[in-house]
Amino acid sequence: MPDIQLSSSRRGTGPPLVVIQQLDREGWAPVIDLLTAEREVVTVDLPGFGDSPPLPGGTAPTVRQLAAEVAMWFSTAGLTRPPVVGNSLGGAVALELARADAVGSAVALSPIGLWTGPEAAYVLGSLRIARTMAQALGHRTARVAGSPLGRTLAFWQLVARPRRMTAEAADGALRNLAGSPGFEATRRAARTYRLHGFPPRVPVTVAWGTRDLMTPRYQARRAARLLPGARHVRLHGCGHSPMSDDPGRVVRLLLSASTG
């Protein structure tokens, strides 16, 4: 298994809660700000995203491989079976960690892998187009992010209320999308990923925004069939990345669902 050093940070006091990040670092910021009053929030960037290096050449960044990397990172970070949360790709990684019994609990927000082949092609194709557009903007991302209309055009598929995003968060998200070195390899590896049901041995929560346009909420019904032992929650009025839409609601969910 590749030996790489994942980028991470810690904030707050209290029991630890690991936040698995990829393209959504800026989206997590308002949630983390609120969580630190009651938890030590430990953020970790998946390989090839944020400040974490990609996996070595020849190692495909499949969802299960990414979960294995995070599980191995726990020991280097001084964590033993911590509670974890992730959104989208990070949500699928959180579920695979729960399958491996490597965590104390897992919360998955709109996880990938509950899709059919055409649905996966739509999501991953949309992200590829968005990345191409972000790269084409170059140093002009701040100009787009500074406009409510620009934020709506850039993020309408991901969040239900893109106008509520701050210009700084939107600019950071566009730059992260354009610059993440692991994006394309991970996108290709995710195409064939499907979540297989398992009987959770730890508390598992799966939450879905009712206005999710990337992985529509009917996929939540598939999650309920595959994971009947999990807790299933609807986040009313939220999109695919609900952290920006309703950070307070997400924080309350995480505090009620996380154990460790």
Domains along the sequence of the chain with CATH: 8-116+193-257 (3.40.50.1820), 120-179 (no CATH)
Residue 217 confidence class, pLDDT cut points 50, 70, 90: confident
pLDDT of residue 3: 61
Q: pLDDT tens digits, residue range 184-201?
A: 999 999 999 999 999 999
Query: Does an H or E element contain 156, and which?
Result: none
Partners of 185 in the β-ladder: none
Distance of CA 162 to the CA centre of its chain: 17
Q: pLDDT tens digits, residue range 115-160?
A: 999 999 999 999 999 999 999 999 999 999 999 999 999 999 999 9
| Helix, strand, coil fractions of the chain, as percent rounded to 5 | 45, 15, 40
Residue 243 half-sphere exposure, CB side, CA atoms within 13 Å? 28
CA distance 70 to 97: 8
Structure tokens at 62: 């499949």
Q: pLDDT tens digits, residue range 15-43?
A: 999 999 999 999 999 999 999 999 999 99
Structure tokens at 101: 């019994």
- Beta strands 8-11 and 40-45 are antiparallel
Q: Which residue has the tokens 């998955």?
A: 108
Please determine, for residue 170, whether its predicted confidence score (pLDDT) is greater than 80: yes
Q: Which SS3 state, helix, strand or coil, does residue 242 take?
A: helix
Please determine, for residue 4, whether its predicted confidence score (pLDDT) is greater than 80: no
